[in-house]
């Protein structure tokens, strides 16, 4: 028996044994099954046992693994079953955008935003729809609105930086325009967070630190506090007089 075949067979046996000992499926098992999920959802709806939270989690899995297209048949049923749950409508918006149906996705996203203005992820995901259909100003406005209203995900910050890079390669000019907008709209706190991001991206770390120190309400997050301390440490010559406090 060839050595290569024996080695492969041994590896298969070891993997199977490890899986059996752990008492769970092998790591490569797909976490969702569109056909089984559709059958299950229909049965649960008929029986009146469908659990909204469980199906929100299931759709989140489809979204996170990039296979929301396989849940296309599920979404209309979920939306009909729970019309007041924005998560399913948001997923439908993301799916439509992924299919290139940007106008439909934008209309649905705007409707979700109107009906559920406090839903935490709709603005950032609507911004992605706007960007996909080429409306960069609308995408930037949605992201600024998102960061103004509350914490956003790490990948949303990365997405915002991508938008800024597309919008204006002259970062210093962008900072100038941003300062003008802040003067005109001081109530939009997201603009100041954007200013800190841009200054950091341009390497003006001390300036970014000084903005945070001038607005301590922005630096309430531990990571921002650490940012301030780190910049003081590496830029002692430019540290604020009260940096040691």
> What's the CATH number where 73 sits?
1.25.40.10
Domain span including residue 223: 168-245
Query: 187, 168 in Cβ contact below 8 A?
Result: no
Q: What is the dihedral of CA 56, 125, 62, 36, to 10 degrees?
A: 60
Q: What is the pLDDT of residues 212-230, one digit of tens each?
A: 888 877 766 666 667 777 7
* Tokens 């948001």, residue located: 90
| C-beta separation of 179 from 195 below 8 A | yes
Domain identity same for 80 and 173: no
Domain boundary among 128, 145, 166: 166
The answer to whether residues 197 and 157 touch, using CB atoms and an 8 Å cutoff, is yes
The pLDDT of residue 188: 77
Residues 94 and 179 occupy one common structural domain: no
Question: Are 105 and 138 in the same domain?
Answer: yes
Both 89 and 121 in one domain: the answer is yes
Residues 151 and 188 in one domain: no
Q: What pLDDT does residue 112 have?
A: 97
Domain-located, residue 18: no
Neighbour tally for 52: CB within 10 Å: 14
Q: Residue 5 is inside which H or E element, if any?
A: helix 3-22
CB burial of 75-87 (b: ≥16 within 10 Å; e: otherwise) equals: bebbbeebeebbb
Distances (CA, A) of 153 to 66, 101, 158: 17, 25, 9
CATH number at residue 204: 1.25.40
Summary mean pLDDT of the chain: 80
What is the per-residue pLDDT for 236? 57
* pLDDT band with cut points at 50, 70 and 90 for residue 57: very high
Same domain (yes/no): 157, 226: no
**Quick one: what percent of the chain has pLDDT higher than 70?**
79
Query: Of 166, 185, 214, which one is at a domain's C-terminal end?
Result: 166
Rama region for 193: left / alpha / beta (φ>0; ψ in -120 to 50; rest): alpha
Task: Give pTM, 2 decimals.
Answer: 0.67
Q: What is the pLDDT of residue 51?
A: 97
Backbone angles phi, psi at 239, to 5 degrees: -65, 150
CB within 8 A of 63, min separation 6: which ones?
91, 94
Query: Residue 245: what pLDDT?
Result: 39
10 Å Cβ neighbour count for 9? 11
Say if residue 161 is in the same domain as residue 218. Answer: no
Copy the structure tokens of residue 74: 């599920």
pLDDT average, residue stretch 203-209: 82
Say which DSSP state 25 is in.
-
127 and 178 housed in the same domain = no
Task: Answer whether residue 173 shows pLDDT above 80.
Answer: no
Same domain, 74 and 127: yes
Residue ending a domain, among 166, 184, 202, is 166
Q: Please tell me the predicted confidence (pLDDT) of residue 36.
A: 95
Q: Is residue 173 located within the same domain as residue 120?
A: no
> Structural domain tally of the chain?
2
Specify whether 192 is located in the same domain as 237.
yes
Residue 177 has pLDDT above 60, yes or no: yes
* 142 and 55 within one domain: yes
pLDDT on residue 17? 45
Who has greater pLDDT, 41 or 210? Answer: 41
Cβ contact 168:141 at 8 Å:
no
Residue 18 burial (C-beta neighbours within 10 Å; 0-12, 13-18, 19+): exposed
The residue-averaged pLDDT of 171-183 equals: 78
Nearest Cα to Cα of residue 84 among 107, 111, 124, 57: 111
119-166 per-position pLDDT tens digit: 999 999 999 999 999 999 899 889 888 877 777 777 887 788 788 778
């Amino acid at each position: 028996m060839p050595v290569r075949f024996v080695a492969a067979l041994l590896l298969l046996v070891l993997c199977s044994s490890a899986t059996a000992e752990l008492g769970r499926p092998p790591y490569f098992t797909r976490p969702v099954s569109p056909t089984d999920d559709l059958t299950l959802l229909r049965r649960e709806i008929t029986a009146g046992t469908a659990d909204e939270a469980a199906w929100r989690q299931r759709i989140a899995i489809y979204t996170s693994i990039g296979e929301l297209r396989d849940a296309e048949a599920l979404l209309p049923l979920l939306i009909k079953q729970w019309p007041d749950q924005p998560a399913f409508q948001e997923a439908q918006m993301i799916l439509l955008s992924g299919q290139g149906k940007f106008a439909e996705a934008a209309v649905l996203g705007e409707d979700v935003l109107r009906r559920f203005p406090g839903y935490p992820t709709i603005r950032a995901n609507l911004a992605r729809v706007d960007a996909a259909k080429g409306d960069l100003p609308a995408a930037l406005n949605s992201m600024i609105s998102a960061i103004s209203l509350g914490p956003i995900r790490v990948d949303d910050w990365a997405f915002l930086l991508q938008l800024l890079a597309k919008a204006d390669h002259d970062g210093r000019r962008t900072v100038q325009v941003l300062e003008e907008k802040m003067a005109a709209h001081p109530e939009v706190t997201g603009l100041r967070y954007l200013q800190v991001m841009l200054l950091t991206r341009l390497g003006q770390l001390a300036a970014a630190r000084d903005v945070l120190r001038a607005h301590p309400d922005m630096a309430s997050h531990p990571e921002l506090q650490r940012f301030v301390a780190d910049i003081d440490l590496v830029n002692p010559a430019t540290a604020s007089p009260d940096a040691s406090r």
